Amino acid sequence: MAYQAGEQGIIAPELEGGYWLQGGPLTMAGLRGRPVLVDFWDYTCINCLRTLPYLVEWHRRYSPYGLVIVGVHTPEFSFARRADDVRRAIAEFGIEYPVVMDNDYAIWRAYNNRYWPAKYLVDAQGRLRYYHFGEGAYESVERALQHLLREVQPDLVLPEPMPPVRDEDRPGAVCYRVTPEVYLGFLRGSIGNPTGFAPKRPANYRDHGLHAEGFFYLEGPWVAEEECVYRPWDALESSRLYLRYTAREVNVVMNPMSGQAGRLDIWQDGAPIPAEDAAADVRWDENGQSYVAVDVPRMYRLVANRDVGHHELSLSTSAPGMALYAFTFVSCAIPGWEMRLV
């Protein structure tokens, strides 16, 4: 949802308490005279990653006119506090604007933020003028930042807002409803096994085969921690997980806790994932089995179906310390449907 704070907006909080990875240190006081876009993000968050093409392009378009984008990386999961992993993500996604690590949530709390991603647009006088939570409203955000640039330089000739990266980004696009995010750790996890979690210890889970959408089901040896479930270090049989969902795309946040690459086999509706439905991180072995090679902690893209549909995923791993944190699901625009914007 997008909000306009008005021309008498409050003074934006300072950017204190973080560790600058790129382009800093900066202060809001030192940036007076220039509009600033503060973006809260996390490199494991699919919604954040889907906004990055817009932020990268806005930096390219408008930094010559004075716009400063500051990426505030506030980690959702504890492993995302490592600077080297965030640097890798910065390079992977082509981020050239300043980035500060907010591992202790100091900047997050100063802005009273609650969402990934979240954008706060600050004018040249340091006042908060506009904010937006989540994906979408890209044209509105770009027009708002153009407005603040013209407040400083009224005669600026600026381009039309960039075209949508995806169909579902079009203003007024109506998207299919999909399964909400499914967390796996015992603090927020939606486990479907009737016995629930056995926290903080190796346990042998049993699956009864009846699966409801929006829940995950464990089978075999697993350890449930606050944020994740992982395969025990000394387990003998494979660790398996089942998940029914409705979506076009499926992603999962994973971490090879051993520090070495591990393999996660994946099936959809009882069969290896065909090439036409496989996402970017899926590979196939010589027997045609689909799998993901998990080598660093990040979000992995599993499924990219042609359309939104109802499916069941089956995952299996024998890699010690393979940890799974959360599944996220992506929709698509309904052809021929559009909201009337008034």
| Domains of the chain listed by start with CATH number | 2-164 (3.40.30.10), 182-334 (2.60.120.260)
> Measured over all CA atoms, what is the biggest interatomic distance in the chain, rounded to whole angstroms?
70
Q: What is the pLDDT of residue 6?
A: 55
Instruction: Write the DSSP string, 89-131.
Output: HHHHTT--S-EEE-TT-HHHHHTT---SSEEEEE-TTSBEEEE
Q: What is the pLDDT of residue 165?
A: 87
Q: What is the pLDDT of residue 176?
A: 81
Instruction: Report the 10 Å Cβ neighbour count for 305.
Output: 19
Collect all residues with Cβ–Cβ distance below 8 Å to 203 and sequence separation of at least 6: 221, 222, 223, 224
Q: What is the pLDDT of residue 342?
A: 42
DSSP 299: E
- Give phi and psi for 217, each to the nearest 5: -130, 125
Instruction: Report the 10 Å Cβ neighbour count for 134.
Output: 15
Q: What is the pLDDT of residue 172?
A: 73
Distances (CA, A) of 39 to 26, 119, 124, 166, 187: 14, 5, 17, 20, 27
3-state secondary structure of 11: strand
From first to last of its 342 residues, the chain has per-residue pLDDT tens of: 445 555 567 999 999 999 999 998 999 999 999 999 999 999 999 999 999 999 999 999 999 999 999 999 999 999 999 999 999 999 999 999 999 999 999 999 999 999 999 999 999 999 999 999 999 999 999 999 999 999 999 999 999 999 998 777 777 776 889 999 999 999 999 999 999 999 999 999 999 999 999 999 999 999 999 999 999 999 999 999 999 999 999 999 999 999 999 999 999 999 999 999 999 999 999 999 999 999 999 999 999 999 999 999 999 999 999 999 999 999 876 665 454 444
DSSP 335: E
* CA–CA dist 229, 224 (Å, integer): 4
